[in-house]
Amino acid sequence: MATVTFDKATRIYPGSTKPAVDALDIEIADGEFLVLVGPSGCGKSTSLRMLAGLEDVNGGAIRIGDRDVTHLPPKDRDIAMVFQNYALYPHMTVADNMGFALKIAGVNKAEIRQKVEEAAKILDLTEYLDRKPKALSGGQRQRVAMGRAIVREPQVFLMDEPLSNLDAKLRVSTRTQIASLQRRLGITTVYVTHDQVEALTMGDRVAVLKDGLLQQVDTPRNMYDKPANLFVAGFIGSPAMNLIEVPITDGGVKFGNSVVPVQRDALASATDKTVTVGVRPEHFDVAGADSDLGVEVTVNVVEELGSDAFVYGTAQIGGEAKDVVVRVGGREVPEKGSQLHVVPRAGETHVFSTSTGARLSD
């Protein structure tokens, strides 16, 4: 097993002046499951391909364990990659697909068969070993691609959006399988996805990228509770955090008819007359029907999820109409077109600089 280090690793594509990945600095511990997440074009797949040796590194270095692999070819890096499109050989059986890399490496047939059967047992593929990929479902093909990586016993697993071709239900069950499998094998894993729910549920730590720049790397819980800036706050969480620009007032910030208390030092470091307050949908308290506290939200759409519901509405804040999402109990669902008064829960707000986007509150 091995650690992985991105040491100010930079990739600039020919003909471009702007780096696709800009001085990426991440230390990945031995046996850790790190997820790279971000919107399309943020540099997450490029980062993974740099680690795999499929993209040149124009600045900085990449290390696996104590070895500097920055300029080594992929075959000498002791990594195994699982691709989005499975990349299986259609004319070979499942067993031959899984053992192909070992065959090329000159491993004897008995040892290949043993390793393939062990991996097939882990992945619940034993009964499919003699089938061709076309006779398998998408989820089974993905497990074959995983098996091919496992039999090689690499130092590092690299996974590039391996679940994006699966349907929603299968994606949920397969992500659980991958996470538990990685913990059992203890192999350092770098996993790329654009799905932040996938990132939060699978990773030991999550790294958020935007425009080639690392925004934050932290545990899923810390990232949810203390996003480093406005971008991370808006990207992590489903539905997204409500981000509303509000004026600073004595004792806190003015949120409609209420003053929400905010740490004094957070406001002291603000350079603007307003700050952007972030409130998760579950951190609003719904006031009584005759209350005039907080802000009045007109209900536009209600998503009922059984145990709870999300209310999507509009509120007038600072003379502008703002979209607001509030989580309510599944038995207390408001009517479409009705009004709710909502107040952010004290101690559950996030305060950001409106101009720089940086986090101000602890």
CA pair distance 362, 353, nearest whole angstrom: 13
For the cut 70, the answer to whether the pLDDT of residue 180 exceeds it is yes
- Residue 211 has a pLDDT of 95
For the cut 80, the answer to whether the pLDDT of residue 329 exceeds it is yes
Rama region for 66: left / alpha / beta (φ>0; ψ in -120 to 50; rest): alpha
CA pair distance 132, 96, nearest whole angstrom: 9
Assign 269 a pLDDT band (cuts: 50, 70, 90).
low
Express each pLDDT in 185-221 by its tens digit.
899 999 999 998 999 999 999 999 999 999 999 999 9
CA 97, distance to chain mean position in Å, is: 30
Supply the mean pLDDT for the chain: 89
**Beta bridge pairs of residue 289:** none
Q: Which amino acid is at 73?
A: P
Q: What are phi and psi of 321, to 5 degrees?
A: -80, 125
**Domains of the chain by start residue, with CATH:** 2-229 (3.40.50.300), 239-351 (2.40.50.140)
DSSP alpha helix (H) spans, the chain: 44-52, 94-104, 109-122, 138-151, 168-185, 196-202, 220-225, 230-235, 264-268
Q: Structure tokens of 222?
A: 């810390």
Q: Which residue, chain included where needed, has tokens 């980062």? A: 47
Task: Give the lowest-confidence range in 129-133, 155-159, 269-273.
Answer: 269-273
The pLDDT of 316-344, averaged and rounded, is 88
**Beta bridge pairs of residue 213:** 210
Q: Which residue, chain included where needed, has tokens 């499951």? A: 33
The closest alpha carbon to 285, from 224, 335, 348, 222, belongs to 348
How many angstroms separate the Cα of 108 from the Cα of each of 20, 99, 140, 150?
Answer: 42, 11, 26, 17
Cβ partners under 8 Å of residue 332, min gap 6 = 286
* Sheet of 284-287, strands arranged across: 284-287, 339-344, 295-304, 308-317, 320-329
CA pair distance 151, 102, nearest whole angstrom: 8
Q: Structure tokens of 232?
A: 């991370």
Express each pLDDT in 69-120 by its tens digit.
999 999 899 999 988 888 899 999 999 999 998 898 888 999 999 999 988 9
Whole-model pTM: value is: 0.89
For the cut 70, the answer to whether the pLDDT of residue 290 exceeds it is no
- Residue 318 has a pLDDT of 75
For residue 133, whether the previous peptide bond is cis, meaning omega lies within 30 degrees of 0, is: no
